A and B are shown apart, each in its own frame.
Chain A
Amino acid sequence: MSDKCKKDDWVEIHYVVLEACERTGDIPEDTRKVPLECWIKGWAEKEGTVGEEVTIKTPANRYVKGTLTRINPEYTHTFGPCASELSAIGQELRSTLKEGK
């Protein structure tokens, strides 16, 4: 897949909202050590390459600048593989329901 987007392509950008040193005091140590980061999707204002700074127009009509991360980003979450720990439950319950009938 190309790492270049055209104007009006649906893309994702990334930027750092707060550097680690700018984070608020009342958070756990592990969280304080890392920056607060942000990803937003929208339409590219002009062509760009992954890794470059681009501006997008979001669905809420905001213009936001950030590093281009993905072009026509896909959703990769799935139903996952069979959870074997659950697979017998249906049969077990059905057989219990039949007992005493």
Chain B
Amino acid sequence: MAKDTSYDAVMERRAEIMSRALGLNYDEFIISDIAFDYEGMMAKAGYSLEEVRQIQSDSGVGNTPLLELRNITDLVRKTSKRGFGARILIKDEAANPSGSFKDRRASVSIHHAKKLGYPGVLAATSGNYGAAVASQAAMKNLGCIIVQEVFDSRHVGQPEIIEKSRKCEAYGAEVVQLTVGPELFYVSLILLEETGYFNASLYSPFGISGVETLGYELVEQIRATYGKDPAYIVVTHAGGGNVTGTARGALKAGAKNSTIIGASVDLSGLHMASDNDFNKKSFTTGHTGFGVPFATWPDRTDVPKNAARPLRYLDRYVTVTQGEVFYVTEALAQVEGMERGPAGNTSLAAAIALARELPEDEIVVVQETEYTGAGKHPWAQLDFAKQNGITVKRGAPKENKPGTTIVIPQDFSQITATEMDLNRMRRSYIRNALERNKVKHVAEEDIRFLAEDTKTDPDFVTSVIRDLGVRF
């Protein structure tokens, strides 16, 4: 008898479907309603750095060039206090087979799926990760389905996402293009059940361990050329995997004094699941619409425990505007000879502002670039913005208003990184952990876990819990 595929029936089978599709039992890592053995999960379910390096070497992933942005560094110094303006380096992740760092994440999941004998892989993503999964699946002769959120109810799609659909189809994947809505997860569950495919989730330990090599490599490369560690590692932050994996890799390389800074495009005020707002964003990833909710509640994903836990690693979190990222994308092409996709340059825009804080002999590293192409390009994206009623003009970045106005800076000196209050996000995470798990009493192990998960200490956690009126 065919299974009931109504929404409620499928969601009811969610745990069973996910468990089969991941081949991973999370129960053994659970300590309490709040706490779980994160490092135990990463050690047991993920792969070691050496294994990941081998897997990636076999699939053409990683070992990407690290470039020094000499002209951009020069421009930063010209707009800094005397003696300030750190050297800016960039890791050219666009050199991976499908054109982004997401190949690192996909390579480990697809290796694992192949090893366990799954007939294919599925990923629910409108980002570069889809192309990465499709590319890696093609290398391993596995079937591949990518489920994407592409259109609003007028059947109008972001040019950036349409390009990502095309790229997945170019690698031989089936692309399921949906209109806006969180029920994308429901569609994915039906497909996982129907095909018996592996869930190449962005948030499994496999995916995150795949990104560790990025942090490790960049530290190794910087030490080899400059004989020191980077002062700042700037990471474009969306779902949290980029921050988590990069930071873990840098720590494994021993770069304990490097500050991990997340950077997102400010899209405050736009609702991610809104049909009307969908095409008012000119960035479909690397923005606060993912960055904030995934940091303050990581366990909202398609896996029981998210391996991407950005607050565990972030030292600072900054935002930049859409207009600043487009400006910097143009600058990267014009004065560094590197034409790369806009979203990946979010961390570069932040790095330009952050480098001004540091003396000239320090290093700021931007840990990714992504490919560019039709649709995934400032011209296409600004044209689309104008078609959707957004004003585009040059001016002061503070005039940017997500969904209304994109302001391209008038001058290089105007590029600014706006500091987000990380302690506020940490408090919000702790509140979510308590409320969503309906916890009435917090034990010592929970406090220890929450302190680790927010990169704080037990005193900070207990003060937040006390404010929330929960017993411990």
Q: List chain A positions with a Cβ less than 8 A from chain B.
A: 17-18, 22-24, 26-28, 30-31, 33-42, 58-62, 75-83, 85-86, 89-90, 92-94, 96-97, 99-100
Contact = CB atoms under 8 A, between A and B. Distances in A.
Contacts of A61: 143
B360 interface: no
Contact of A86 (B151, B181, B182, B326): B326
A79 B379 contact: yes
B337 to A, nearest CB: 11
A39 B162 CA distance: 12
Contact of A93 (B163, B177, B412): B412
Contact of A17 (B166, B187, B330): B187
A97 B74 CA distance: 7
B383 A83 contact: yes
6 contacts: A27-B181, A34-B153, A40-B176, A41-B175, A77-B163, A79-B379
A23 B183 CA distance: 8
A22 B186 CA distance: 12
A89 B151 contact: no
A97 B75 contact: yes
Contact of B179 (A34, A60, A76, A93): A34
Interface of B: 7, 71, 74-75, 78, 120, 143-145, 150-151, 153, 155, 159, 162-163, 166, 169, 172-183, 186-187, 194-195, 271, 273-276, 326-327, 330-331, 333-335, 374-375, 377-384, 392-394, 408, 411-412
Contacts of A60: 120, 143-145, 173-174, 195
Nearest to B271: A28
B331 A36 contact: no
A26 B274 CA distance: 11
Contacts of A77: 159, 162-163, 166, 374-375, 380
Given A27-B182, A80-B382, A22 B7 contact: yes
B275 A24 contact: no
B392 A85 contact: yes
A39 B143 contact: no
B330 A86 contact: yes
B44 to A, nearest CB: 31
A83 B174 contact: no
A59 B331 contact: no
Pick the most buried of A42, A75, A77, A80: most chain B CB atoms within 10 A of its CB: A77
Contacts of B195: 60, 62
Contact of A85 (B144, B382, B412): B382
B178 A36 contact: yes
Contacts, number: 161
A89 B175 contact: no
B181 A59 contact: no
B374 A34 contact: no
B181 A90 contact: no
A59 B379 CA distance: 32
A17 B190 CA distance: 11
B122 to A, nearest CB: 9
Given A18-B7, A77-B375, A83-B383, A62 B174 contact: yes
B159 A80 contact: yes
Given A17-B178, A30-B275, A31-B181, A96 B330 contact: no
Contacts of B393: 85
B183 A36 contact: yes
B183 A17 contact: yes
Please list the 4 inter-chain residue pairs (A to B) with the smallest Cβ-Cβ separation, ordered nearest first.
Answer: A90-B334, A77-B375, A80-B383, A80-B380
Nearest to B334: A90
A17 B159 CA distance: 23
B372 to A, nearest CB: 9
Contacts of A82: 379
B150 to A, nearest CB: 8
A41 B74 CA distance: 49
Given A80-B380, A96-B78, 11 more contacts: A18-B7, A28-B275, A30-B274, A30-B275, A31-B181, A35-B179, A36-B187, A58-B174, A60-B195, A75-B374, A80-B377
A83 B174 CA distance: 33
Contacts of A35: 153, 179
Contacts of A40: 174-177
Given A31-B274, A89-B334, A83 B379 contact: yes
Given A17-B187, A28-B275, A79-B374, A37 B75 contact: no
A85 B162 CA distance: 24
B177 A23 contact: no
Contacts of B326: 83, 86
Contacts of A42: 174
Given A78-B374, A93-B331, A37 B183 contact: no
Given A17-B178, A40-B175, A100 B78 contact: yes
